[in-house]
Amino acid sequence: MPVYSEKVMDHFQHPRNVGEITDADGIGELGNPTCGDIMKIYIKVKDNKIEDVKFKTFGCGAAVATSSMVTELVKGKTLEEAEKISNAAVAEALDGLPPVKMHCSNLAADALHLAIEDYKSVKAGKGHIAKVETCDHEHEGLDELEHA
């Protein structure tokens, strides 16, 4: 069974910014068919800054923790700063993740990037982009017990 840092456990047990923004400016939804994690991130943008951010996640504790941390990392940041958030930055902010759970940080960062992409598409008058995407990150070492 993976060993999690205190920060991962805190964000899993007390996730920040959970919920939905009904009038979101951008929505990014990402699912992973291999492990079953699904993340949806909503952003509200004002003056090129992420004024509010919320998430809904169906998945393991690491998926919830990484989603929560992403929202904490980007609130108040410019879109350009938010676009630079990487899976490594998410994992580092949580004091690390077990190797078998690193894909969760990819999902959280990628869902954020999709929300920003969606916002830019709407702002450009092109409408919302496809809301659900499937990631294809590698999941070496995942097995039924790891995700139960």
- What's the pLDDT tens digit per position in 111-134? 999 999 999 999 998 887 765 555
Q: Give the CATH number, domain containing residue 99.
A: 3.90.1010.10
Instruction: Give the DSSP letter of residue 33.
Output: T
| Owning domain of residue 94 | 6-138
- What's the pLDDT tens digit per position in 30-62? 887 676 788 999 999 999 999 999 999 998 888
Give a yes or no: residue 13 inside a domain: yes
Give a yes or no: residue 143 inside a domain: no
Q: Which residues of 100-128 are buried (b: 16+ CB within 10 A; e: fewer)?
A: bbbbbbbbbbbbbbbbbebbbebeeeeee
Give a yes or no: residue 10 inside a domain: yes
The arithmetic mean of pLDDT across residues 4-14, rounded, is: 94
Q: Which two tokens stand for residue 93?
A: 């902010």
Give a yes or no: residue 81 inside a domain: yes
Give a yes or no: residue 109 inside a domain: yes
The set of catalytic residues is: 35, 104
Give a yes or no: residue 1 inside a domain: no
Instruction: Give the DSSP letter of residue 129.
Output: P
Residues 6+ apart with CB under 8 A from 91: 66, 97, 102, 105
Q: In total, how many domains does the chain have?
A: 1
Mean pLDDT, the chain, integer: 84
